[in-house]
Amino acid sequence: MLKKLFGLDKKEEKQEKAEVKMPEADGKDVLVAPLTGQALPLSEVPDPTFAEKMMGDGVAIKPTEGTVVAPVHAEVMQVFPTKHAVGLKTVNGAEILIHIGIETVNMQGEGFESFVKEGDKVAPGDKLITFDMDLVNEKAESTITPIIITNGDEAGELKKEENIDVSRGETTILTITK
């Protein structure tokens, strides 16, 4: 009870995440879906910044539930203060942005909960963020979530899986080969 009262139970949980064993860099990153839903081409994202690949290439997912998990072994580089986006870096150096919904920054974190912080090491399937789908549908433009490789010039070749149903933590959506 005292652990819960003083938040010590959360500290222990965070320490467990920090002990994730990172695989050796091998030049290839295989990303699984961070959300359950339908994988779509970026061209279907209702925001030109993502649709026209101004931030980088990748895929988008139209989610059917509000849980975002790690798509690959990575280090958390940034959790946006509004918790609507998270930046990851893989052992092979690929930088990944998961941007939950469109125009969700305006929600100022309402309906979002983060389970990681900068510097955490994560494995595929580890919970990153949860969000209230109904609230996002009500207050933002879209729930469609772009998964962007922001350093694509350095990352290498991308093989994308689009127009398929995906399950978080299971279905491969991107393969990056240096």
Written as six digits, the tokens of 55 are 């931030």
| Percent of the chain predicted with pLDDT > 90 | 79
Per-residue confidence (pLDDT) for residue 155, from 0 to 100: 73
pLDDT of residue 6: 41
Q: How many domains in the chain? A: 1
Instruction: Give the residue with greater pLDDT, 108 vs 14.
Output: 108
Residue 88 CB neighbour total at 10 angstroms: 25
Q: In 3-state terms, the chain is what percent helix, strand and coil (to 5)?
A: 20, 40, 40
Catalytic residue among 73, 83, 99, 121: 99
Q: Quote the pTM value.
A: 0.87
- Residue 84 annotated as catalytic: no
Residue ranges making up the domain that contains 128: 2-177
pLDDT at 4 exceeding the cut of 90: no
Which domain CATH number covers 85?
2.70.70.10
pLDDT (tens digit per residue) in 9-63: 544 444 444 466 776 767 799 999 999 999 999 999 999 999 999 999 999 999 9
What does the pLDDT look like over 137-150, one tens digit per residue?
999 999 999 999 99
Question: Burial code of 104-127, b = ≥16 C-beta within 10 A, e = fewer?
Answer: bbebeeebbebbbeeebbbbbebb
Average pLDDT of the chain to the nearest whole number: 89
